[in-house]
Amino acid sequence: MSKNTKRPEHTAPPELFYNDAEARKYTTNSRMIQIQYELTRRCVELLNLPDGVPGYLLDIGCGSCLSGEELSTDGHTWVGCDISPSMLEVAREREVDGDLMQHDMGHGLPFRPGTFDGVVSVSALQWILNADKSCHNPRSRMTRFFTTLIGCMGRGARAVFQFYPENPEQMQLITTYAMKAGFSGGIVVDYPNSTRAKKTYLCLFTGACEMPQPKMEGEGRFDKQSSANFTQSERQQFKGKKGSKAARPSKHSREWVLSKKERRRRQLSTKKSGSGNVRPDTKFTGRKRGPRF
């Protein structure tokens, strides 16, 4: 972020900054989609989940659920929470697969103990340091957030936060309050010698774990030669994964309906999901109705 650019958290509270116009702009900007995709992939990588085993994940500061789409692509079931009603409305219109809730993370997390197998968050954690109201005390909000976070995570689970600290003191403050809540872990900085590619992750563990290694220049897409532009093959892969008709069934087609029903069955099969049922698949599933007489 340029020194001359005013940080979003200094402009307005998140629920006001991400209004209807900003939410739709954020969700349709191809550059933001690419960045969100890459950051989410890195967060999932740092979670170190068992290969081939879908998890039940929490996405904090989910916004319009660009990150949630990536979690669904990997087969995970997820819950997203965000303070901005405009962002969540865009996510609802996009018919994302996760369960959504409007919530301020500074109020703590209202989930049962041991609910989640992992937690991810992209570009949201720095907002908790703001005092947008007279009743806001950043230290109290961090204490409430991290103590409830560790409570709703399963044994051995990890939480990974990609965020934009303003200075080293902010990184130290956030890490200190996370450790006070009972977490182990610390900060991972990818590409620390690059101005454009440098990314900061707070990796928290509910038990003793070995800290993951940061990425260095030359190891991935965010090095100096590839940070500005994706290769042609990567662009085609990205477009195919996110939007091509070949990669995704058309909305309300039989394949689309069957995939939605299968995801819902997986949600209901976990002990953490609510009650309900999904109708069995038949030859009429997804069939268009004829005109009425």
Higher pLDDT, 142 or 232: 142
CA–CA separation, 59 and 112 (whole Å):
16
Amino acid identity, position 267: Q
Higher pLDDT, 267 or 73: 73
- Over residues 74-85, the pLDDT tens digits come to 899 999 999 999
Question: Which three-class secondary structure state does DSSP give residue 49?
Answer: coil
CA–CA separation, 291 and 217 (whole Å):
60
- Over residues 190-240, the pLDDT tens digits come to 999 988 899 999 999 998 788 999 998 766 554 433 333 444 444 444 445
Q: Closest by alpha carbon to 33, among 247, 248, 243?
A: 243
Domain boundaries, the chain: 8-242
CATH fold group of domain 8-242: Rossmann fold (3.40.50)
Long-range contacts of 81-87 (CB under 8 A, 24+ apart): 81/105, 81/109, 82/124, 83/14, 83/15, 84/14, 84/15, 84/17, 84/18, 84/23, 85/15, 86/18, 86/19, 86/20, 86/22, 86/23, 87/18, 87/23, 87/26, 87/62, 87/63
pTM attached to this predicted model: 0.75
Q: What is the mean pLDDT of residues 246-272?
A: 70
